[in-house]
Amino acid sequence: MGFLDGKVGVVTGAAQGLGTAYARALASEGADVAVCDVKPEVSAVADEIAATSGQTVRAYPCDVSDTEAVRGFVDAVLRDFGGVDVVVMNAGIYGSTPMDLPRDEALSEYQRFMDTNVKSIYVLERAFAPSLVEREGDIVVISTDHILPPLEPGGTRGGPSTDLYDASKWVLNGYIQAWALGFAANGQNVRVNGIAMGATDTPMLRGVFPGGSPPDDVVAGWMTPAQQAQLMLDLLQDGRTGDLISSEPGHPVELPPRSGMGQPVSNLPAEQFHHGLMGLEPAIWEPPS
């Protein structure tokens, strides 16, 4: 028995790496799970998780950069499962877009990053929102440590050729804060949080290295998908909203003190909410006793 017994989870980009780990973690806590990916391997992932967990796990082919495909995926999940309680927005792309990229290629890459990393998240939220409101669910948006403040004074984040990737992830901050505020201001108990994750051992990160084979000493410093999946479960159990969780190599992979809005409380006026991630005094709202 787990804390997600009777719940339904959704994980995008679940054919490998983090997405597979998130789906496996949800099922381990008793959730039935819908997984999607553009890669056909997602079907085998669903079968494996279903066999080991005893939960219902269904795979759906979906290219999240295609709005109509996303709508079809959402409709199918709601039809098959009756509703959703947790949506983990994990699907995304990473790549280099150097400053000297030819204009037409740069514009094509811009559209590809925005469609996959930005628009898809918005479409998923809008499509799943009615069910999440009805079932008082959770949205978890997977982001990157590139958007966090540098660890040391004078330090930097990201890189000189990741402008589109980094920009696409900065947009997610706006989503997280606006959605958390919007649901709470409307008296709707839907929690929205993000995980800003550093180097984790996934096929995507390994693919950055020649031949997909990073040096062993480099991999030794990375976090694991299982650690990130446990952090996601801890976040769901915590009940906070409007928070962006930092998860970086060399630091404990655990929930920090709340820095967002805390818990949404329907009887608080909208003007009392603070933007915890936008430079203002963070506020933590406790449920009325």
The residue with greater pLDDT, 176 or 207, is 176
CA atoms of 36 and 80, how far apart (whole Å): 14
Q: What percent of the chain has pLDDT over 90?
A: 60
pLDDT higher than 70, residue 278: no
Lowest-confidence region among 84-88, 117-121, 190-194, 196-200: 196-200
User: Rounded to an integer, what is the distance from CA 260 to the centroid of its chain?
Assistant: 16
Q: What is the pLDDT of residue 284?
A: 35
What is d(CA 202, CA 199) in angstroms, rounded to the nearest whole number?
9
Segment 51-104, tens digit of pLDDT:
999 999 999 999 999 999 999 999 999 999 999 999 999 999 988 888 899 999
The pair of structure tokens assigned to 274 is 């603070």
- Mean residue pLDDT of the chain comes to 84
What CA–CA distances, in Å, run from 179 to 33, 50, 167, 193? Answer: 23, 32, 19, 9
The reported pLDDT for the residue numbered 219 is 67
Top-confidence residue, 50 or 146: 50
Cα–Cα distance, 197 to 9 (Å, whole number): 21
Q: Binning pLDDT at 50, 70 and 90, where does residue 166 land?
A: confident
Residue 280 contacts residue 258 (beta carbons within 8 Å): no
Residue 237 backbone dihedrals phi, psi, to 5 degrees: -75, -25
CB 285 within 8 A of CB 263: yes
Of residues 227 and 253, the one with the higher pLDDT is 227
CA-closest candidate to residue 187, choices 270, 283, 258: 270
Q: According to the model, what pLDDT value does residue 269 have?
A: 41
Nearest to 20 by CA among 33, 7, 29: 33
**What local confidence, expressed as pLDDT, does residue 81 receive?**
99
pLDDT in tens, 125-152: 999 999 999 999 999 999 887 667 655 5
Pick from 30-34, 93-97, 102-106, 115-119: least confident: 93-97
Comparing CA positions, the residue from 29, 40, 31 lying closest to residue 10 is 31
Q: Among the residues of 98-194, which ranges form H helices?
A: 103-113, 120-135, 163-185
Looking at 3.40.50.720, 3.50.50.60, 3.30.360.10, 3.30.70.920, the CATH number of the domain 67-272 comes to 3.40.50.720
Residue 192 bridge partners (DSSP): 139
User: Within 10 A of 11 (CB to CB), how many other CB atoms are there?
Assistant: 34
Assign 225 a pLDDT band (cuts: 50, 70, 90). Answer: confident
